[in-house]
Structure 1
Amino acid sequence: MHFTRLLKVVAACAMLLPAGAITAALGSTEARADSCWSHNGSLMRLKAQGNRRWFLYEAPRPVLREAGVATGTLLFEGVKRGNWYEGTARVFSQACPGQPQVYSVAGPVRADQLQVTMSGRRNVNRQCHPTDRVTTDTLVFTYSHRC
């Protein structure tokens, strides 16, 4: 087969594939901005606009649903600077449905872009009221698939 004709066949086949299928087939491991990620037993959706980032619940685990978390509930909002995320996260409680505690988090994106690990310190609440204790939360988001 002529090389030019072969290129035309490859180009025609590529048009039939979903967006990103070729780069995925060629081994690109970078996760896409509108993608699904696993986090602590829940399925999350990553949204991006420029360097702004949001992780929203796509399918929250049952205990979170009991705390008022639904599809589309915001868990993290912030920015990506190079391979670093920073912003605010929320912790949800059955004792305080609809009143998440907001705290600062930051952390790296793994070199292959398929995992984000952020941590931050927050007050430990009891029945919606702060105690004298502080804890460090670590949030790990692992790429799952294109949503």
Structure 2
Amino acid sequence: MQYVSIVMKTGFAAALLSAFMFPAAGPALADSCWNHNGSIMRLQAQGNQRWLSYEIPRDVLRAAGVQRGTLLFNGVKNGNWYAGTARVFSKYCPGSPLEYYVEGPVRGDQLQVTVTGTREVYNQCRPTGQVRTDTLVFTFSHDC
């Protein structure tokens, strides 16, 4: 079985809902909560450093060892661009997430971050020689 992908494919409905629920623009708060693929994430910022960790992981991730405080992304924000390291978790390799480089834009209203990166595909902790491009989308939810 392949790694549990931590990819959110947002559609028009999610973007529209976000636009109506959170119309005020502004910078990412130093401690705020964001939706990502059915999980609630905590964004913490210090200067240009950024960390996104699980606040409330979705159930399927718990089997892979993900719990509150597990780090999904760490990196930097430069202007309206994030760059850093993302992680993929597997129930076959708990405690050993696969790390890979991601980068991408912050939406103009500062309420959504989308990062993309290419990673190797694993099958039960073994590389398959295949690669996959993952897109991770984080949409502001509320102040934590």
Q: TM-score range by the shorter chain?
A: 0.7 to 0.9
Q: Choose between structure 1 and 2 for higher RCO, CA contacts under 8 A separated by at least 6 residues.
A: 2
SS of residue in 2 equivalent to 1:124? strand
For 1:94, give the aligned amino acid: K
Structure 2 unaligned blocks of 5 or more: 1-22
Distance 1:68 1:140 in 2: 21
1:39 aligned to 2:36? yes
SS of residue in 1 equivalent to 2:68? coil
With the length of structure 1 as denominator, give the TM-score of the two structures: 0.80
Distance 2:68 2:86 in 1: 16
Distance 1:44 1:127 in 2: 26
Match of 2:6? none
Partner of residue 103 from structure 1, selected from 100, 104, 112: 100
Match of 1:79? 76
Match of 1:112? 109
With the length of structure 2 as denominator, give the TM-score of the two structures: 0.82
Deviation at 1:29, TM superposition (A): 1.8
Larger helix percent: 1
Cα offsets for 1:11-61 (capped at 9, x unmatched): xxxxxxxxxxxxxxxx74223120000000000000000000000000000
Residues 29 and 45 of structure 2 are in contact (CA less than 8 Å); yes or no, is this contact kept in structure 1?
Answer: no
Distance 1:124 1:108 in 2: 24
Q: Equivalent pairs: percent with the same residue? A: 68
Q: How does 1:128-147 map to 2 (within 5 A)?
A: 128-147=125-144
Deviation at 1:95, TM superposition (A): 1.1
Distance 1:107 1:33 in 2: 19
SS of residue in 1 equivalent to 2:117? strand
For 1:120, give the aligned amino acid: G
Match of 1:66? 63
Cα offsets for 1:80-119 (capped at 9, x unmatched): 0000000000000111111100000000000000000000
Distance 1:86 1:143 in 2: 18
Distance 2:61 2:24 in 1: 34
SS of residue in 1 equivalent to 2:30? coil
1:124 aligned to 2:121? yes
Larger Rg: 1
